[in-house]
A = this chain, B = another copy of it.
Amino acid sequence: MKGKVLEVAKKAKKIGQDDPRRISHSLKVGLALTLVSSFYYLRPLYDGFGQSGMWAVLTVVVIFEFTVGATLSKGMNRGFATLLAGALGVGAQQMACLLGHKGHPIVLGLFVFLLAAASTFTRFFPNIKARYDYGVLIFILTFSLVAISGYRADEILVLSHQRLSTILIGGAICLVISIFLVPVWAGEELHNLVAANLEKLGSFLEGFGKECFKDSRDTGDSSIVAAREEKSFLQVYKGVLNTKATEDSLANFAWWEPGHGRFKFRHPWKQYLKIAALSRKCACHFEALCAYINSDIQEPTSFQRKIQQPCVKMSLESSKALKELATSIKTMTHPSAADVHMENSKTAAAKLKAAIEAASRETETSNLLDIIPAVAAASVLADIIKCIDKIGESVHELSHQAHFKKLEDQSTVSPEKPQLLHRGTVKPVSDVDGDGDSDRDHVIITVHETSLESPENIGNPQAPKSTVPRAEQ
């Protein structure tokens, strides 16, 4: 018993530590509910609203969600659906009244049946399901309540006015607390999730390039195969495969959000979904690569040694390209830095081709079977580079649609010397956009340099913030 309580407490602590905003969200819900309770406590308000105050409590409990977008979506849906259904309900009432006392209940019953059935059916439309599902639910609920309860109470207009105003007050309290008290924006979540997924893909390729080729050359020990399977970088990409549902709902919620921080109203959220779909495709290819890693690797053949260098180069450069793309999304700068690494990885792919051609001419390749895993891995790697190229294209498209900042000076440097590029030629203060916001540009470039020098900083969402003081000193 005691052990179980401790276990739950530990779990709760971990959940809170994983994302402290969960704790603040819980406190926000508590606060909103306590505030709305005052509608019952305070006598003057109670006298004004009566039992309807209950609707304010109901509204708060039901519409307060983790992200601002979800709260807004539910609040707007609830508000408009209540208005529309209330009006229709009163109309149905009036029409039924014309039919006299006998026809009244039958006509109202028919109305409720038809409207409920038709509305329920619209919930199967994919676009209504995605954005207005909750609204349709509230529409059915309110229409039924108004149409039916009105049969008893003549003061229906007074009642609905009271209910609407309490719902409005409840909704307003939720929105104010949700937007101004430690807000969690769905759009920003989506933005960070997509960038983090690109980074995960990059980390996998980095690990693949560094570990898999190196170990098999240096030691040739087959016991390391087991060790590799447990390596975290091999598992890291698997999360990318399963985020589709989260991304879709975040994009839907983000659609409701007003402009906030770096994001304008109607930010191109759909483009993030395209990037995410390509990321999943890329992660799929990794699955095939893993099959190569986990197969029994013998002492590397001479063929393997020959193709090893371009393969490592391909992995590392495309990993860098992915990480640059992730950084570009995070800092909302033009993804030109990634192009260089992309070019380099394509060059390496060409070198791989040449190396294979040379190998097939030089040696006898007496046993084709031995080289199959290496050939297959190289071939998959080439497909991955094509896939990353497409990811790059859609990040460029996003950068165009969302007007990311450009750092033009980079384009003058040749692709073959990436190190020089990032250390020497970027001006500390660029004012490309001409918006005079030079401090911000400066910070962004500082972050950029830092992240290149120590790749682990990219994985840390705190990194951009932590460099700000340094830039200002």
Instruction: Show the binding face of A for B, using Cβ within 8 Å.
Output: 11-12, 15-16, 22-23, 25-27, 29-31, 33-34, 37, 40-41, 46, 51, 54, 57-58, 61-62, 105, 108-109, 112-114, 116-118, 120-121, 124-125, 137, 140-141, 144-145, 148-149, 151-152, 241-242, 244-245, 280-281, 283-285, 287-288, 291, 353, 356-357, 359-361, 365-369, 372-373, 375-376, 378-380, 383, 386
Contacts and interface: CB of A to CB of B under 8 A. Distances in A.
A162 to B, nearest CB: 14
B241 A280 contact: yes
A144 B57 contact: yes
Please indicate which of the listed interface residues A16, A62, A117, A145 has the most CB atoms of chain B within 10 Å of its own CB: A117
> Which of A30, A125, A353: most chain B Cβ within 10 A?
A30
A29 B367 CA distance: 68
Number of copies of this chain that the complex holds: 2
B148 A57 contact: yes
A356 B383 contact: no
B61 A141 contact: yes
Given A120-B30, A288-B288, A109 B57 contact: no
A66 B80 CA distance: 25
Contact of A244 (B245, B291, B365): B245
A117 B30 contact: yes
A23 B61 CA distance: 32
A365 B360 CA distance: 7
A366 B376 contact: no
B379 A375 contact: yes
A439 to B, nearest CB: 37
A18 to B, nearest CB: 9
A132 to B, nearest CB: 14
B27 A61 contact: no
A376 B375 CA distance: 7
Given A33-B113, A376-B376, 11 more contacts: A15-B125, A23-B121, A30-B117, A33-B112, A34-B112, A41-B105, A57-B148, A62-B137, A244-B245, A356-B369, A376-B380
